[in-house]
Amino acid sequence: AWLGVRLAISVSLLFTASAVFEDQVGKFDWRQQFIGKVRFALFDTHSQASKKLLVATDKNVFASLNSRTGDLFWRHLDKTGPEGHLDSLLMYGQDAVVVVGNGRLLRSWETTVGGLKWETVLDTGSFKAAALVGVQDLVKYVAVLKKTAISLHDLSSGGQIWVENLPDSDTVQYQTIYSEGNGLVFVLGLVPNSHVVIVEYKIEDGEIMNKKSIQAAWMSSLESSCAVISSGILLCVDQITQSLYTLPLQSVEQKEMKQIHLQTLDLEVASGFQPVLTSTQPNPAQPPLAEFFLQLNPDHHILLQLKDGLIAPLRDFNPSNLVAFATTGEKTVAAVMSPKNETACSINLFSADTGRRHLDTTIIYHLDPNVGKPNKLYVHAFLKKDDSVGYRVMVQSEDHTLTFLQQPGRVVWMREEALADVVTMEMVDLPLTGTQAELEGEFGKKAVVTDGLLPMVLKRLSSQFILLQAWLAHLWKLFYDARKPRSSVKNDEVTIENLSRDEFNLQKMMVMVTASGKLFGIDSKSGAILWRHYLENIQPNSGFKLMVQRSTAHFPHPPQCTLLIKDKDIGLASLHVFNPIFGKKSHSSVPALPRPILQTLLLPIIDQDYAKVLLLIDDQYKVTAFPSTKNILQQLQDTASSIYFYLVDSSQGKLSGFRLRKDLSTELIWEVVIPTEVQKIVAVKGKRGNEHVHSQGRVMGDRSVLYKYLNPNLLAVVTESTDTHQERSFVGIFLIDGVTGRIVHEAVQRKARGPVHFVHSENWVVYVYWNSKFRRNEFSVLELFEGAELYNSTVFSSLDRPRPPQVLQQSYIFPAGISTLEATLTEKGITSRHLLVGLPSGSILSLPKLFLDPRRPEVVSEQTREENLIPYAPEMPIRTEWFINYNQTVSRVRGIHTAPSGLESTCLVVAYGLDIYQTRVFPSKQFDVLKDDYDYVLISSVLFGLFFATMISKRLAEVKLLNRAWR
Amino acid sequence: MWYINRLLDVYVALQAVFALSWCFSDLDSGPVVASNGDRFKIEGRAIVPGFKTQDWISTARVLVEGEDYVGFLKIDGSFAVNDVPSGSYVVEVVSPSFRFEPVRVDITSKGKMRARLVNYIKTSEVVRQSYPLQIRANGPHTYFMKRETWGWTDFLMNPMVMMMVLPLLIIVLLPKVLNTNDPEMRKEMEQSMNMLNPNPELPDVSEFMTKLFSKGSSKSGASNKGSRSVASKRR
């Protein structure tokens, strides 16, 4: 029983360790939710007052946005990967129909609540198209076209009405569906460069009413070059013959397409450009409009009309980048974006049926070099009170940014959807303010040498005076603000100009690199985006590595970050050097990198400008230094003998260690081969460079010290078996010294498989794997100790360590899935460590490292109690109080970045995935600052009370003495 | 009556064991992925007592084995996860506001379904649950710690305070209650004191201590003082 109590006490002590108090909500944490690159967006035109904007994105997210503010109403995340891919989005009234997973599922959503209405599993077969089908002005069905079959479903219940195999589906590529509310569904297919196939189905029972094939030898794709307009007329465009072709779908007699030369319309398609037709069908139960856009070259659109079998141009838009149709009520309008000047575009509204411009409908869209070119236009049209058409537009840019504008060009909201895919990030200290820097500069090395005693004193006095001035100004501002009514006091908006480091260095600049090649600078306190920089021409599958070459500490030198952008296919890399505070590209000369880069090293060697040296190793093991000044090369030569690096070749299962020679060539010194037939290298991790270990050892129950094996060169290598059978699969972990190549330790988990998440820090490695025998996630911890004596306590050298370390290991069951794993990090490493575990539910669990201690005893003794070890329990506890992000879940968390702050107790945490969440954690509570709820009133009242009590009692004592003297 | 209950228990247990033997002989060794591509559907319903479904379904999801398979909640709170191959899965309703217990669902290669309690330690133990799943929320999540609040009762009930206040009360009140001027009483007290100190020869501890310290040099006293002041400063 005593044991139980003891355990309860120790657990309850831990229990409070990293919890959030309710009054701390939103005080230092924030979350931003994203959706990803929009693929489909539809405005709810069901009612005039509706603010809904439905979007489906490439991140398999289906969401409803508030079109007035850009906030999310609700958001649903499907499976990642192709099985959750959103193929199509259709909307009718309150319902949105989504086709998911290459036509595997058909879902209908109730858009006001955000709940599912129904879900139907469709037959296998790759998805081609989906369309709403109306009967007598009412939309009742949804038709889904697959490669070999077409099916019709009821819109209200999802029930399948009929499914029919398509005729000759092995030769004909069926691509689109068309219906106009006349009881028929047309399926259009194509045999490339031969003929078009048109099949008519009856809506009631799926009976084939008519099937015909039309010669079209010039056509290679139906989807990209054709559209159906005006009461079922198929319209196609061809670049080679420079013609338009028309064909009534229902006509029985017409056996071939009618050719209309573009020349007769005085038009010409730019050579090599696939012309695009844009038509609109406002109501699926009605035929589409007779008007359509034809894009002749990237900057030229023309609005045309089909009337009585003749095509006539209504209006020529030259130049124009983007066009879109929109319908409200009975009116259909066309919005056209055309370049105005170098920095702006103008969007205008035209009536679709006449091509006449609506007056006073211009929206100016400012082109921002950091946003990228606009590439899609979504228009929300509405009827004003005077029955004229008003509109708002959403512009999507190359970098996935969504900008919502209204007249005359006011940006209502903006969503930086590039942030949905953060690849890597760093947290950079903010610069000191001018006065702070002045004070720091006083004690600079140069100043002491050049100046005498008297100038130094004067300098000191003047800087003190400046500080006094600044303080008075601050007081005055406080006083001034206090007099004003509360509402009129502006919130301290953070801008780049007034950025400065706070007292405890809690506010930092988050430099985030996204997959689309857009860089962001975000204020960690408020989450405001302070700068953005769009790198154009980034390949979609590039790898990024961000390094801080010079921190903010070297005033007046600006901080400097270097981003290595590497094309994953060919391996060629380039460098982008920038200032992390302002986001500006630095002018320093960047070395040309003609060969693929294998490895990068950031050395602690600094040049005269305090920038750390970056070594880049290419595929011929040649080393390029950046910056490569004389000073640096000299230093490199001096220290070359102690610079080692390693390379990983996972395709050959090879780890190799190299040494730098004086002439900057390299020398292979060791090689470890892990046979790829058995296992493959999944990940290799060293320790973090900015990590500090405060205590060299652990005090045991018997007062002896167990010294930690703190090898800074240790690499943790995780392998997975190539055999994935659940009986034979395993996960291996190797601890390899990066200098000598010695395998320090090797562990194998049998009947286990990945994905393996692991953290390598101090003297321990924690890793998580899936136990395929018991179907559960398991944590395993490896701790390395030197033993009771330290071999060489002053310097650690990999070359001189005769004794292998003692390795302790213990495993635990983790009763949940795991998305990512990271450890907290503090300034000096005194604070106890916690593991931050990202869960699939979106919560981030702060798990004390105390629970992952291989010395946890099975049988409790006096000594283990003395050491404060928790008795071993196989299952790891998960408490919702340990969720550092309470209900602010971070969806699909991919990475957690931890950074130390100026306070030892505080660690800054940023979790990123689809969302971004920033908070602070206090693994050992806030021991170095007063608590938030510190009771100033009580303390001061007690003090004053005591003071007055002494005064009164003194007086009373005096009176008493006097009285006694009189007696 | 007791006997019948007992009998019922045995019967239920027998049934559970039986169920285990008929359909899961091949399953307990791990998930068997159907090679013929048979896909099944996990159905169920999530219930939050006292709340309307539209208040919470838009933020909730059904996760099967982490994020391997995902299902969404319908407006009435029911859900169906389609396209799941046979195997054994932990099904969880995830919501930032409410806590739901996870359930393990086993699907045989023939598509027979069974739900049981999740037990990560004894993975083969079967405690049956109803299928189609009925997952009831057991309240909102408790994310926050309570702040320690300061109250008079906490202060007074503190053992240190009690230890200080009670002797004080005794010192102040006892002389008032007992009349010390009464010679009989005094005699009685003296007697009781003697009883407590049975050996008058033995030197009193306090006396001993005072002697010791008065003998000690003034230096030690000073250092004592010094250390005390340091201690107070630290405080």
pLDDT at A558: 86
CA distance A61 to B61: 13
pLDDT at A270: 79
- Is the Cβ of A883 closer than 8 Å to some Cβ of chain B? yes
How does DSSP assign B166-234, residue by residue?
HHHHHHHHHHHHS-TT-HHHHHHHHHHHHHHS--TTSPPHHHHHHHHHHHS-HHHHHHHHHHHHHHHHH
Nearest to A21 among B41, B120, B147 (CB): B147
Cis check for the bond before A627: say yes or no (omega within 30 of 0): yes
β-pairing, A149-154 vs A160-165, is: antiparallel
Nearest to A113 among B58, B69, B118 (CB): B58
pLDDT at A960: 93
pLDDT at A242: 84
CA distance A164 to A152: 9
How does DSSP assign A711-733, residue by residue?
-TTEEEEEEEES---TTT-EEEE
Q: Find which of A15, A31, A77, A774 to mutate to test the B interface (most B CBs within 10 Å of its CB).
A: A774
CA distance A893 to A586: 32
Percent share of chain B, pLDDT over 90: 12
CA distance A464 to A458: 10
CB contact under 8 A, B75 and A113: yes
Geometric angle at alpha carbon A81, from A79 and A86, rounded to 5° = 70
pLDDT at B23: 36
DSSP 8-state secondary structure symbol assigned to residue A223: H
CB contact under 8 A, A19 and B144: yes
Question: Which amino acid, B146?
Answer: K
Query: Quick one: tokens of B207?
Result: 């006396």
- Is the Cβ of B94 closer than 8 Å to some Cβ of chain A? yes
pLDDT at A44: 85
- Is the Cβ of A72 closer than 8 Å to some Cβ of chain B? no
Nearest to B75 among A77, A110, A881 (CB): A110
Provide, as residue numbers in chain B, all residues whose Cβ is less than 8 Å from the Cβ of A726. 29-31
Q: Find which of B56, B57, B120 to mutate to test the A interface (most A CBs within 10 Å of its CB).
A: B120
The gap from C-alpha A386 to its chain's centroid, in whole angstroms, comes to: 44
Provide, as residue numbers in chain A, all residues whose Cβ is less than 8 Å from the Cβ of B61. 76-77
B64 in Cβ contact with A775 (< 8 Å): no
pLDDT at A41: 92
The gap from C-alpha A494 to its chain's centroid, in whole angstroms, comes to: 23
pLDDT at B200: 56
pLDDT at B222: 41
Residue ranges in chain A whose pLDDT is less than 70: 1-18, 434-451, 484-497
pLDDT at A427: 92
How does DSSP assign A357-386, residue by residue?
BPTT--EEEE--TTT--EEEEEEEEEE-TT
A-chain residue closest to B72, CA distance:
A116
Provide, as residue numbers in chain B, all residues whose Cβ is less than 8 Å from the Cβ of A934. none
List CB contacts of A547: < 8 A, sequence separation 6 or more.
A426, A561, A562, A563, A564, A600, A602, A614
β-pairing, A243-248 vs A258-261, is: antiparallel
Provide, as residue numbers in chain A, all residues whose Cβ is less than 8 Å from the Cβ of B94. 840-842
Nearest to B57 among A23, A113, A776 (CB): A113
Write down the pTM of the prediction: 0.84
CB contact under 8 A, B121 and A874: yes
Rounded (10°) CA dihedral A263, A264, A267, A270:
-20
In our burial notation (b when 16+ CB lie closer than 10 A, e otherwise), range A42-57 reads bbbbeeeebbbbbbbb
Radius of gyration (C-alpha) of chain B in whole angstroms: 37
CB contact under 8 A, B150 and A935: yes
Rounded (10°) CA dihedral A602, A603, A608, A609:
20
What are the tens digits of pLDDT across the range B10-67? 333 333 333 333 333 333 333 333 334 678 889 999 989 888 888 888 889 999 988 8
What are the tens digits of pLDDT across the range B191-220? 777 766 656 566 666 777 777 777 554 444
CA distance B222 to A29: 52
CB contact under 8 A, A875 and B67: no
CB-based contacts of A148-153 (< 8 A; 24+ apart in sequence): A149/A123, A149/A125, A150/A174, A150/A177, A150/A185, A150/A187, A150/A201, A150/A206, A151/A122, A151/A123, A152/A185, A152/A203, A152/A206, A153/A106, A153/A120
A618 in Cβ contact with A593 (< 8 Å): yes
- Is the Cβ of B151 closer than 8 Å to some Cβ of chain A? no
pLDDT at A196: 85
pLDDT of B4 above 50: no
The gap from C-alpha A799 to its chain's centroid, in whole angstroms, comes to: 42
A396 in Cβ contact with A414 (< 8 Å): no
CA distance B180 to B187: 10
pLDDT at A403: 92
pLDDT at B201: 61
Radius of gyration (C-alpha) of chain A in whole angstroms: 35
- Is the Cβ of B169 closer than 8 Å to some Cβ of chain A? no
Cβ burial of B201 (10 Å; 0-12, 13-18, 19+) is exposed
CA distance A238 to A271: 11
B-chain residue closest to A119, CA distance:
B80
Query: Quick one: tokens of B138?
Result: 């057991």
In our burial notation (b when 16+ CB lie closer than 10 A, e otherwise), range A550-577 reads bbbeebeebbbbbbbbbbeeeeebbbbb
